Structure 1
Amino acid sequence: MSVRRGGELSGKQKAALLLISLGPETAANVYKHLREEEIEKLTLEIASVQRVEHGDRSRILEEFQQLAIAEQYISEGGIEYAREILQKALGKERALELVERLTSSLQVRPFEFARKANPLQILNFIQTEHPQTIALVLSYLEPKQASGILAELPQNVRYEVAMRIATMDSTSPEVVSSVERVLESKLASMTSLGTMNIGGLDALVQILNGVDRSTERGILDYVETTDPELAEEIKRRMFIFEDIVMLDPKSVQRVIRDIEQSDLLLALRTASEEVKELVFSNMSKRMVETFKEDMEYAGPVRLRDVEEAQQRIVAQIRRLEDMGEIVIRRGGSEDVLV
């Protein structure tokens, strides 16, 4: 490829020259995060480069650095903050160009200011809003933040908000922007088009995994009286077999005693090394030897049988927790054993 001056290069050519300039090791790490199609196009572009002019290399590296800094400013303080800082450093024209390029390609999530705020401050800000509005805001927050806020809401509001998060599918950008402007007038409006997928079961599950057991049980009981199928699906997603690592050693030992050993043998077939290590560390030496021998010489089994065994173990873990016999360490609170 005959390399033209930096200002005339296409985006694909700049990307190729940037990877060449960064060296093979860094380029290889970048490749790990690209799609196969992108890798093919970049590889062809790189292969066509005969040499990189020093001036082009310097301009491309400088442009990349400016974009990286601009993206960092956006993630730290939002679009307006990035624009203000960049204008002081690079001038108005260059700052506007960088921000426009980034906001056209990045998914700049709304309510960025709220994710950096204290949960109690947010609570004071939204607790008098309609449950649908509260659900919308919580869906955009980090799960740990949303857990703390949800737990502090009045009980009737808490249950209603949880239901609305679970059943929320998509919300128009206009509605999100309207709520966002009310909560934070300085934050720029959204840049994405169409509808945005927020809320849903996964959002509620992450939030509930961070609240205390009493709050979780109250919300699940409420959902169960309104929509039993929804409640069952939430419970199923809240604790998977790999989450056994959240049990303390005594709880693991209790689970091992209460479940069918054949189920545990099956369940461990696809378990992570961390789970296996935890389980084996809470068995007797002879039992570990027996399990490992059985696992080594057992024939192939259906994945469905393994998953069903794991589900039976999870169900027993949930029952033991409901009975107060074991403790599951949760992200949003410190469980104290007495």
Structure 2
Amino acid sequence: MPELSGLQKTAVLMVGMGPEASAKVLSHLRESEVEQITAEILRMREIEQDTARDVFEEFHGIVKAKSFVAQGGTDFARELLSMSLGVEKAVELMNRLTAAFAETPFHFLSRADPRQLISFLQDEHPQVIALVLAHLTADMASVVLGGLPPELQSEVAHRIAVMDRTSPEVVRQVEDMLKKKLSSVLQPSELSTVGGLQPLVDIINRADRSTERLILEGLESRDRALAEEIRSKMFMFEDIVQLDDKSIQLVLREVQSSELATSLKGVSQEVRMKIMKNLSERAAQNLADEVEMLGPVRLKQVEEGQAKILQVIRKLEESGQLVIRRAGGDDEFVD
């Protein structure tokens, strides 16, 4: 079972308690909190027995779920809001939430096991796989893409990159096909903008280093210009040399020396010097000694070490603690 956020656990608890008890709780919360909880209730639909039991046990046995399957969704949310906020506010809030949290195509696949999805999709046409992956979250899509055969990875990656807009009818037909094996089908009502370079970059950025390398090499053999454009939008390990010294020092504080030593095996002298100059003289010497003592290291180990450091960099970028200047970017900087 995937780890639930605090907000999701609260929503499970609200559904399990029923509308009357939940309304009493929500009446003591701020409207913004009520809206967030209601949004999660709208998303979850059915709540599995094991999920409910885990949540209830965590809340010290408020409810003991023996054979519990609750129903969230629109009706429950509307009744809950009416009882806690009044009918008029409930209608207004439900209209806003319904528009904001309308389910996207292939949303039902977010509950699927990625391994089962890989097994099912790998025999489908590359264009079908590309359409599905373009609608998944980048995290899940990277797992699925990484599990496909190498030759299929590059074909699918290329199709995601050049994909633009897809009609509702095509999406619906693919969903109907998936319904036979993976339940629920959504009904998109307007053109969906899917695919393109950025979704593919997001997917590759979350893949492991070996998968990243295979995808880019495969794309390069098909379309060198496209591969270069994707590289320009990505932050590769070798791009560490583009970071300023302050950012490098910020990254180094988050990285273990053993991972750093492994990741520096086989890199260019420029990359190694960029790292070394941002360490104290003693730390830099210790790192150089550790790299030397490692001897030959499997490529997979090096890529895993580099991937961990890239995760740190991306996390720091997402939190706004460092800025990555990508080639061809539209952002302007003032020193």
TM-score, structure 1 as length reference: 0.51
Q: Does 1:86 find its partner at 2:77?
A: yes
Bigger drift between 240-249 and 179-188 goes to 240-249
Q: Which runs of 5+ in 2 are unaligned?
A: 1-25, 47-70, 285-296, 312-335
Aligned partner of 1:186 in structure 2 is: 184
2:98 to 100, 103, 114: 103
2:42 to 74, 81, 85: 74
Indicate which of 278, 282, 293 corresponds to 2:279.
282
User: 2:210, 2:300 within 8 Å by CA — same for their partners in 1?
Assistant: no
Letter in 2 for 1:124: S
1:164 is displaced (CA, Å) by 0.6
C-alpha deviation, 1:107, in angstroms: 5.4
Where 2:306 maps in the other structure, the secondary structure is: coil
Equivalent AA in structure 2 for residue 284 of structure 1? E
Distance in 1 of aligned mates of 2:283 and 2:152: 53
Label 1:69 to 1:134 Cα distance change in 2 as closer, same or farther (>3 A). same
- In the other structure, the counterpart of 1:112 is 107
1:143 paired residue number: 138
Structure 1 residue runs of 5 or longer lacking an equivalent are: 1-57, 265-277, 288-320
> Counterpart amino acid of 1:186?
S
Matched, 1:173 2:171: no
Cα 1:180–1:256, aligned 2, differ >3 Å: closer, same or farther? Answer: closer
1:219 CA displacement: 2.3
Of residues 225, 228, 233, the one that matches 2:229 is: 233
Post-superposition offset of 1:123: 1.9
Question: Given the alignment of the two structures, is residue 258 of structure 1 paired with residue 269 of structure 2, yes or no?
Answer: yes
The separation in 2 between residues aligned to 1:77 and 1:279, in whole angstroms, is 53
Superposed displacement of residue 169, structure 1: 1.9
Q: CA deviation at 1:157?
A: 2.3
For residue 189 of structure 1, give the secondary structure of its aligned residue in structure 2: coil
* CA spacing shift, 1:64–1:236, aligned 2, 3 Å: closer
Note the C-alpha offset of 1:161. 0.8
Q: Which residue of 2 aligns with 1:329?
A: 306
* Pair 74,131 (structure 1): closer, same or farther in 2 beyond 3 Å: farther
Contact 1:252 1:282 in 2 (8 A): no
Aligned-residue Cα RMSD (Å) equals: 4.6
1:253 to 1:60, Cα distance in 2 relative to 1, 3 A: closer
Residue range with higher mean Cα deviation, 202-211 or 227-236: 202-211
Aligned residues of 1:165 and 1:201 also touching (Cα < 8 A): yes
SS at match of 1:190: coil
C-alpha distance 253-163 of structure 1, shift in aligned 2 (>3 A) = closer
Give runs of aligned pairs for residues 123-138 of structure 1, distance below 5 A.
Answer: 123-138=118-133
CA distance in 2, matches of 1:260, 1:220: 21
Shift of 1:128: 2.6
* Structure 1 residue 284 displacement after superposition: 1.3
Q: 2:218 aligns with which of 216, 222, 225?
A: 222
- Verify the 8 A CA contact 1:180 1:187 in the aligned structure 2: yes
Aligned residue-pair number: 226
Match of 1:206 in 2: 202
Distance in 1 (CA, whole Å) between partners of 2:210 and 2:33 is 49
CA contact (8 A) 2:126 2:156 kept: yes
Secondary structure of residue in 2 paired with 1:330 = helix
Q: 1:159 aligns with which of 154, 159, 170?
A: 154
Give the partner amino acid of 1:167: V
Q: Which AA in structure 1 matches 2:140?
A: Q
Measure, in 2, the Cα distance between the counterparts of 1:121 and 1:256: 37
Q: Which has the larger radius of gyration?
A: 1
Residues 73-129 of structure 1 deviation map (CA, whole Å, 9 limit, x = unaligned):
233349x951254377579xx799865542324453322221232211222332332
Structure 1 distance, partners of 2:301, 2:30, is: 60
> Amino acid of the residue matched to residue 71 of structure 1?
A
What are the equivalent positions in structure 2 for 1:20-35 lying under 5 Å apart? none
Change over 3 Å in CA distance of 1:279–1:118 after alignment to 2:
farther
Query: Structure 1 residues 59, 90: closer, same or farther in 2, change over 3 A?
Result: closer
Alpha-carbon distance, 1:326 to partner: 5.4
**Distance of 1:214 and 1:253 partners within structure 2:** 16
Alpha-carbon distance change, 106 to 83 in structure 1, aligned in 2, over 3 angstroms: closer
The answer to whether the 8 Å contact 2:104/2:186 transfers is no
